[in-house]
């Protein structure tokens, strides 16, 4: 936590800068000292113990993968930190970074999927008017330059007639020869 905030709550000392002093006074309303530790006041739950940076890493580790941890997502992790009555100013951002860096969470996370689009059919009024041309490869081959590493495939949309031919390289000359 901020040293100027702790100093103000303990002894009433304010920073020399008036703008900073105003900020400290405004923030101090939400905090209190009970014996030695600093607590953040909360309207909906008991006081939250303020943690240092080192303590916050330990709390995140224990809540995330400790005895009660379940490698939960960052929102649930941040909420669980609050439920265990701990607080530091960047706990939500830290929880997000913690989950991003967790190897087990990254391996078992859901893969985001793009919702499928509606399929639209391409129609052809009669045979051999609309064609599709695809190039497949490269396929593993030998060390010589004459190994056919690619396949040119064409298909007529009306009849579904397909033609395929292997080729050594992909260039305009090879495609022109195929057509």
How do residues 15-69 score in pLDDT, each as one tens digit?
888 898 898 888 888 888 888 888 998 888 899 999 999 999 999 999 888 877 7
The model's pLDDT over 89-107, given as tens digits with 9 standing for 90+, comes to: 899 999 999 999 988 888 8
Adjacency order of strands within the sheet including 131-136: 131-136, 150-156, 162-167
Structure tokens at 22: 């105003």
Higher-scoring residue by pLDDT: 110, 172: 172
> pLDDT tens digits for 111-157?
777 778 888 888 888 888 888 999 998 888 756 667 778 899 999 98
82-120 in b/e form (b: 16+ CB < 10 A) is: eeeebbbeebeebbbebbeebeebeeeeeeeeeeeeeee
Are 86 and 120 in contact by the 8 Å Cβ rule? The answer is no
Are residues 102 and 94 in contact, defined by beta-carbon separation less than 8 angstroms?
no
pTM of the model as a whole: 0.56
């Amino acid at each position: 936590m901020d040293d100027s905030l702790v100093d103000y709550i303990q002894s009433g000392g304010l920073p020399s800068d008036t703008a900073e002093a105003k900020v400290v006074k405004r923030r101090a309303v939400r905090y209190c000292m009970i014996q030695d530790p600093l607590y953040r006041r909360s309207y909906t739950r008991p006081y939250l113990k303020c943690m240092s940076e080192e303590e916050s890493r330990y709390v995140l580790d224990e809540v995330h993968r400790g005895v009660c941890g379940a490698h939960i997502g960052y929102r649930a992790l941040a909420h669980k930190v609050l439920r265990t009555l701990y607080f530091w100013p960047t706990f939500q951002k830290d929880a997000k970074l913690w989950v991003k860096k967790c190897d087990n969470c990254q391996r078992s996370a859901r893969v985001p999927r793009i919702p499928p689009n509606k399929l639209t059919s391409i129609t052809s009024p009669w045979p051999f008017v609309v064609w599709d041309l695809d190039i497949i490869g490269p396929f593993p081959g030998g060390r010589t330059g004459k190994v056919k590493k690619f396949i040119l495939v064409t298909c007529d949309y009306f009849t579904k007639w397909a033609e395929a031919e292997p080729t050594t390289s992909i260039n305009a000359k090879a495609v022109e020869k195929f057509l």
